[in-house]
Amino acid sequence: MKPAVVSCAATSEETDGRPLPPGWKSYTSPEGLRYYVNCSSKETTWRHPSSSAEAPQRPLARQSSSPYANGSSSIAKASQPTETADVSLRKPATYKQPPGSVSPAKRQIKEVKETKITINCVTFPLPGEGPEQQLLKPDEWSYCDYFWTDKKDPQGTTSLPGFEVLLQKQLKGKQMQKEMSEFIHERIKIEEEYAKNLSKLSLSPLAAQEEGTLGEAWTQLKKSLHDEAEVHLKFSNKLHSEVEKPLLTFRGDNFKKDLKKYDHHIADLRKQLASRYASVEKARKALADRQKDLEVKTQQLEIKLSNKTEEDIKKARRKSTQAGDDLMRCVDLYNQTQSKWFEEMVTTSMELEKLEVERIEWIQQHLRQYTTLRHETDMFNQSTVEPVDQLLQNVDPAKDRELWVKENNTGEVRPVDMDI
Identify residues 348-377 at the interface with a second copy (CB under 8 A).
353, 356-357, 360-361, 363-364, 367-368, 370-371, 374-375
Binding positions for a second copy, 160-189, rule CB under 8 A: 160, 162, 165, 169, 172, 175-177, 179-180, 182-183, 186-187
Closest separation in Å from C-beta 246 to a second copy = 15
Beta bridge mates, 25: 37
Q: With b meaning 16 or more CB within 10 Å and e meaning fewer, what string describes 37-68? A: bbeeeebbbbbbbeebeebeebeeebeebeeb
- Are 279 and 333 a contacting pair, CB within 8 Å? yes
Read off φ and ψ for residue 387, nearest 5 degrees: -60, -30
Query: 160 or 305, CB closer to a second copy?
Result: 160
Binding positions for a second copy, 315-334, rule CB under 8 A: 327-328, 331, 334
Among 51, 74, 79, 82, binds a second copy (CB under 8 A): 82
The reply to whether 250 sits near a second copy by the rule CB under 8 A is no
Indicate the SS3 state at residue 17.
Answer: coil
Query: 312 or 380, CB closer to a second copy?
Result: 380
Query: 27 or 161, CB closer to a second copy?
Result: 161
Could you tell me which residues come within 8 angstroms of residue 339 by beta carbon, excluding any fewer than 6 positions away? 62
Task: Write the DSSP string, 118-142.
Answer: EETTEEEEPTT-SSPPPPSSTTTT-
Rounded to an integer, what distance in angstroms lies between the CA atom of residue 322 and that of residue 86? 11
User: Residue 242: what residue type?
Assistant: E
Longest dimension (CA), the chain: 178
Binding positions for a second copy, 206-235, rule CB under 8 A: 206-207, 209-210, 214, 217-218, 221-222, 225
Closest separation in Å from C-beta 145 to a second copy = 6
CA distances from 191 to 231, 241, 334 (A): 10, 15, 62
Binding positions for a second copy, 41-80, rule CB under 8 A: 58-62
Closest separation in Å from C-beta 248 to a second copy = 13
User: Residue 7: what residue type?
Assistant: S
Binding positions for a second copy, 102-161, rule CB under 8 A: 115-116, 118, 122-125, 130, 133, 135-136, 140-143, 145-151, 160
Determine the interface stretch with a second copy among 6-14, 17-25, 301-309, 381-389 (rule: CB under 8 A). 381-389
Query: 10 or 403, CB closer to a second copy?
Result: 403
The reply to whether 253 sits near a second copy by the rule CB under 8 A is no
Closest separation in Å from C-beta 249 to a second copy = 16
The reply to whether 401 sits near a second copy by the rule CB under 8 A is yes
DSSP state of 49: G
Name the nearest CA neighbour of 39 among 22, 54, 24: 24
- Are 384 and 232 a contacting pair, CB within 8 Å? no
Rounded to an integer, what distance in angstroms lies between the CA atom of residue 279 and that of residue 261? 27
Q: Between 286 and 305, how does the x/- string for binding to a second copy read (CB under 8 A)?
A: --------------------
